[in-house]
Amino acid sequence: DLLISQIAAGEVVERPASALKELLENSLDAGASDIRVDLEEGGIKTIRVADDGAGIARDDLPMALARHATSKIESLADLERVASLGFRGEALASIASVARVAIVSIARGERHAWRIEAQDGAVSAVEPAALNRGTVVEARDLFFNTPARRKFLKTPATEYAHCLDAFTRLALARPQVAMTLSHNGRVMARYPAQDWQARVLAVLGDDFARQARLIDEAAGDVRLYGWAGLPAYAKASRDAQFLFVNGRFVRDKVLSHAAREAYRDILHGSRHPAYCLFLKIDPVRVDVNVHPAKTEVRFRDAQAVHRFVFHALERALAGNQSGSEAN
Ligand code: ADP
Ligand code: MG
């Protein structure tokens, strides 16, 4: 019922950015190659995600909004290797319990699109609609029916900043997907489909690109690749530190400590290095299911991972080949 959904929603939908992350992951799960996000008022008023993915068939639309209808975890083995990004089967239902949701979608092979709406636990009939490809999910007036939670939202500017973070992390993780973000009608970020090197530089910007070193090292079945900013590009904040494990953005003490150590002798004062590093590791050597909505991982052999990342980064920072630094 609605109350249970709203309580469950608390775990998934804390603020506009968490709803946006779920919608983006759904678009990626659907095989989208082009995703457009439109936000209004930091996502509090509107979050709209349009994709060109596989779409949702007419008969599946009501189920897409039902709780636990679509959980893809069927065994412990699934939990061990969460290949797909979405696996809880309740994000849309949770969002629909705390916002006004409309989905328009056209599955491949259908002659036209269909639309469904949900509000306050009530799901509308499925109606014919117009859309050429993919899916558009719109969530409006977040927490309109849960004032206590709405009170915890910050200003639109702050909520927008969190949405931008969520968008940026997925943009870094999925460079092959074209992604556009607009806020209050203005395009804030636009990335074409590109390789990971170009995507990272596009996200982190020209100043970073001029002061960054490329890393790509493998040892056994572990690979670390990415761009590491030189000390000259260090920042006052940690905003430009991105770590990904098997394609998921993570906050991880082992990895960030290894990075800090690699910079220790070359970066002085209170400034922070900028980097975007991707670690690929056999999924059985890392736990990602600490909490589905969190971004933590636990390595089975943290010391080996630490050593590998530290040395790879240290070598890259000491080496003399670099990005555009050579000019
Ligand atoms: P989950 O992603 O965990 O299955 P969600 O509540 O996020 O649960 O989504 C429910 C279902 O709705 C998905 O399993 C998928 O079948 C469908 N769906 C949601 N968003 C999209 C989308 N953008 N494109 C295609 N199908 C979608
Ligand atoms: Mg999902």
Q: Which atom of ligand 1 is nearest to the CA of 93?
A: 6
Is residue 291's pLDDT more than 80?
no
Tell me what the mean pLDDT of segment 125-132 comes to.
97
In this structure, the residue with its CA closest to atom 7 of ligand 1 is 91
pLDDT level of residue 88 (50, 70, 90 thresholds): low
Kindly tell me the sign of the dihedral angle through the C-alpha atoms of 267, 271, 277, 283.
Answer: positive
How far apart CA 119 and CA 253 sit, in angstroms, is: 41
- Predicted confidence at residue 1, as pLDDT, reads 67
How far apart CA 287 and CA 307 sit, in angstroms, is: 19
For 295, counting Cβ atoms within 10 Å of its Cβ (0-12 exposed, 13-18 middle, 19+ buried), the class is middle
Kindly tell me the sign of the dihedral angle through the C-alpha atoms of 68, 74, 79, 82.
Answer: negative
- pTM for the model: 0.91
Q: For residue range 163-174, what is the model confidence (pLDDT) as tens digits?
A: 999 999 999 999
Is residue 309's pLDDT more than 50?
yes
For 60, counting Cβ atoms within 10 Å of its Cβ (0-12 exposed, 13-18 middle, 19+ buried), the class is middle
- Predicted confidence at residue 294, as pLDDT, reads 67
Complex ipTM > 0.90: yes
Q: How far is the CA of 25 from the centre of ligand 1 (A)?
A: 9
In this structure, the residue with its CA closest to atom 21 of ligand 1 is 26
How far apart CA 264 and CA 160 sit, in angstroms, is: 33
- Predicted confidence at residue 45, as pLDDT, reads 98
Is residue 143's pLDDT more than 90?
yes
- Are the CB atoms for 160 and 38 separated by under 8 Å? no
Q: For residue range 159-206, what is the model confidence (pLDDT) as tens digits?
A: 999 999 999 999 999 999 999 999 999 999 999 999 999 999 999 999
| Lowest-pLDDT range of 9-23, 100-114, 226-240, 279-293 | 279-293
Ligand 1 pocket: which residues have CB below 6 Å? 22, 26-27, 29-30, 51, 53-56, 64, 70, 86-93, 135, 137
Q: How far is the CA of 281 from the centre of ligand 1 (A)?
A: 27
- Predicted confidence at residue 258, as pLDDT, reads 98
pLDDT level of residue 268 (50, 70, 90 thresholds): confident
Is residue 40's pLDDT more than 90?
yes
DSSP state of 66: S
- Predicted confidence at residue 89, as pLDDT, reads 60
Q: Which atom of ligand 1 is nearest to the CA of 54?
A: 25
**CB proximity list for 4: less than 8 A, separation 6 or greater:** 67
Tell me what the mean pLDDT of segment 219-243 comes to.
94
Tell me what the mean pLDDT of segment 308-316 comes to.
97
Measured between alpha carbons, how far apart are the two ends of the chain, in Å?
A: 62
Residue type, 278: F
When the pLDDT of each residue in the chain is averaged and rounded to a whole number, the result is 89
Tell me what the mean pLDDT of segment 83-100 comes to.
74
Burial 230-261 (b: 16+ CB within 10 A, else e): beebbeeeeebbbbbbbebbbebebbbebbbe
Kindly tell me the sign of the dihedral angle through the C-alpha atoms of 271, 248, 289, 86.
Answer: positive
